[in-house]
Structure 1
Amino acid sequence: MSERLKDKVVLITGAASGIGAQAARQFVAEGARVVISDVNIDAGSKLARELGATFVTVDVSVEGQVRSAVSLAVEQHGRLDCMINNAGMVGAVGSILDTRADDWHRTLSVLLDSVFYGIKHAGAQMRRQGSGGSIISLSSLAGVAGGVGPHAYSVAKAGVIALTRGAASELAQYGIRVNAVAPGLVVTPLVDKVYGGRDKAEQGAVANSPLGSAAMPEEIAEALCYLASDEARHVNAHTLVVDSGVSVAGSSASAQFHARPAGFLGTMPKQYQ
């Protein structure tokens, strides 16, 4: 590795598995000091021990917990250089005609409200430091192309893109870059659950890829590392789409979500339990 992120302090939400976990591994390999946050205490703590990183339990749907995670990163390392708003889930699935309002709000609280909290509190810290920084949020192909994902998920991910652009226009004056990454179908434990196993998930990813190959978390982590690095010093207000060209060539991936009985896939935020 090049250590292009040497000594940068990075906070990653939803980092106990999937894209977040792989991002933590690659950021550490690139020389960063990483704070891992997640609601999964066992997996998050184990990964932190493996990487020599710091772990903090965070429910990203609760603003105070996101603010506390930013404060912890600063207490542990003296500063915050990069915030990765990665925590996610599928959320409300099924026909929009049958979707429960509570499930809709639960989905947006984790996928969109959390990004607002992350940008707000990381941005405030970076402004206080006076040396700029990088904030990167995970959107999705579902936020770029209509009808690719479940309805609430798609709305939240489109909102991430709009919020990225708006925040970037405001925070640029402080040297803070705000960008997003929009993956297509990536083979993660979350996608495994949707498809009913790893083999089926890989087959689904290949079938939906114009390139005929399955995207893996490592490839999204590389995109995050690039946007966090000085190589991307003039990349701002941008959504980097990593989807094998599905946004142009099309995909039928959404059919499985809309055809399901209305329900909820993922851990519910505490305030809705």
Structure 2
Amino acid sequence: MAGRLDGKVAIITGGVSGMGLAATELFIKEGAKLVIADIQAEKGLALEQRFPGQLRFSRCDIRSEEDIAAAVALAVDSFGGLDVMYHNAGAVGDNSSIEDMSTAGWDDTQNLLLRSTMLTIKHAINPMKKRGKGSIILTSSAAAVALGGSGPFAYTVAKAGVISAGRYAAFALGQHSIRVNIIVPGAFPTSIWSGHIGGDADMGDRLGLDLGRFARMQVLPQAGDPRNIADAALFLASEASDFITGVALPVDGGLTLHRGPEASASGQLGAVNAAAEQLERA
């Protein structure tokens, strides 16, 4: 089935790589017009050339209100409005322990993950009101809900805040037929995992060499694929979910039901290290 986003205009933050790129490609296939808001300009401009007339790129630091506002303005100016805001961009941030956390590291992580969530919601509201409805999709993490946590301190707290922000916004904006839902990803071998070991964003594009440890993190014995997240985002963006709002949807293979042998923070880090070692040998 194609055409599930025909006539819709969407913004995807972090849409040039990993989960975001999978969503970009799927949304285009399903008929959407897209603005991709991302800090990786070279990749973004390449996508603009790949999908002429269907996609515009806006260089965007998601911590900047001016950049978020500019991405929304580009969607309205280029395609006539905004129907879907999918806030996917993010990174691990400061992975210090509680006792070693600096105020600067804490603030930067909250700005990156939580203030950016507020900004994407805020700037999506008016153009969606003009359309008469809309769908806002946020990205949390299994770290926010898994027993014992599975991510760094500042990251885990921020991602828990994303769920609260999304549920509050769903309640406040329902009167305008603006739905707000939250995707809660589990363990995926994408760029965010390289943040645990100080890797760059491109590293995540190459982490798929050793998926066995990722497959042992959750109930379903398989590694997550970015397409799993893209499919969930498509559902929440489309009319198929038009009576769903305020939901935190786990897409985690059951990670938050039962944490497998590799699901501890040390096990996850081991999976990333193992993949990095394979990259070095390749």
Instruction: Please name the residue that 2:35 is paired with.
Output: 35
- Of residues 206, 219, 230, the one that matches 2:228 is 219
Equivalent position SS for 2:101: coil
Match of 2:24 in 1: 24
Q: What are structure 2's unaligned runs of at least 5 residues?
A: 200-205, 271-282
Residue matched to 2:254: 245
- Counterpart of 2:61 (choices 59, 62, 70) is 59
**Residue 193 of structure 1: CA displacement?**
5.8
**Kept in 2: contact 1:92–1:152 (CA 8 A):** yes
Matches within 5 A, 1:65-84: 65-84=67-86
CA contact 1:10–1:33 (8 Å) conserved in 2: yes
* Mean CA deviation greater in 112-121 or 206-215: 206-215
Could you tell me how far 1:124 is from its partner in structure 2? 2.2
Match of 1:256 among 251, 266, 275: 266
Secondary structure of the residue aligned to 1:92 is coil
- Structure 1 window deviating more from structure 2 (207-216 vs 175-184): it is 207-216
Higher relative contact order (CA 8 A, sep 6+): 1
- 1:1-273 equivalence runs, <5 A: 1-52=1-52, 53-127=55-129, 129-145=130-146, 146-192=148-194, 194=196, 198-199=207-208, 202-251=211-260, 253-256=263-266
In structure 1, C-alpha distance between the alignment counterparts of 2:268 and 2:102, rounded to whole Å? 14
In structure 1, C-alpha distance between the alignment counterparts of 2:109 and 2:267, rounded to whole Å: 14
State how far apart, in whole Å, the 2-side matches of 1:81 and 1:24 are. Answer: 15
Q: 1:194 & 1:50 partners in 2: Cα distance?
A: 32
Deviation of residue 200 (structure 1)? 6.2
Evaluate the alpha carbon distance shift between residue 179 and residue 102 of structure 1 in structure 2; reply closer, same or farther with a 3 A threshold. Answer: same
Q: C-alpha deviations, 1:211-265, integer Å up to 9, x for none?
A: 11000111100000000000000010011101111111125534339999xxxxx
**Are the aligned partners of 2:83 and 2:131 in contact in 1 as well (CA < 8 Å)?**
no
Q: Which residue of 1 aligns with 2:279?
A: none
Aligned length: 259
Q: CA deviation at 1:104?
A: 1.2
Q: RMSD of the TM alignment (CA)?
A: 2.1
Task: Report SS of the residue matched to 2:257.
Answer: helix
Distance in 2, matches of 1:105 and 1:238, equals: 27
Residue 211 of structure 2 aligns to a residue whose secondary structure is: helix
Structure 1 alignment gaps of length 5 or more: 261-273
- Is the 2:142–2:252 contact (alpha carbons within 8 Å) kept by the matching residues of 1? yes
Runs of 4+ in 1 over 6 A off after TM superposition: 257-260
Query: Structure 1 residue 191: deviation in Å?
Result: 2.3
